[in-house]
Amino acid sequence: MSWEKLPGVHDSPGCLNCGPWPDDLPHTAVLAVGFGMVSVTRDGEHIWAGDDETVTLARFERKASRDTDHDWRVNFYGPLNEREYQRQHGHWRLVKTGMGFA
C-alpha cells in the first residue's frame, strides 16, 4: 500500500437539523449536499466534482475497487458542514470533519 490509512473519526454532534453523518459511508450514498460541492479524488487529484443527486458513491467504488493501491477520498463541502471519507479496504471511512463555509 503506497498511501497512508488515516484514523477514523466519529461525527459528533453533527448537524443539529439532520443529525450525524455515518462513520462508514454506504455505497448507495448520493453525492450531493444541496448547496455546496462534493468531490472525489485519487491521490489528491480530482476525479469528479459536482452536486448531483443522480450520482452515487457506487460509481466510484467500482473504479476504486480495481485500483486499490491509491488514496481514494470523497469530500462533502457544504454550509456549516464538511466531511471527508477515505476508502479503506472496501469501506469509505469518515476521516475528517470541518466547519464548511458560510
Tens digit of each residue's pLDDT (9 = 90 or more) over 2-39: 899 999 998 766 566 667 789 999 999 999 998 999 99
Tens digit of each residue's pLDDT (9 = 90 or more) over 59-89: 999 999 999 999 999 999 988 889 999 999 9
The pTM assigned to this predicted structure is: 0.92
The count of residues in the chain is: 102
CA 73 to CA 5: how far, in whole Å? 11
- The residue written with cell numbers 487529484 in the block is 45
pLDDT at residue number 39:
98
Task: Centre a 10 Å sphere on the Cβ of residue 79 and count the other Cβ atoms it contains.
Answer: 13
Tell me how far CA of residue 101 lies from CA of 17, 72, 80, in angstroms: 16, 23, 5
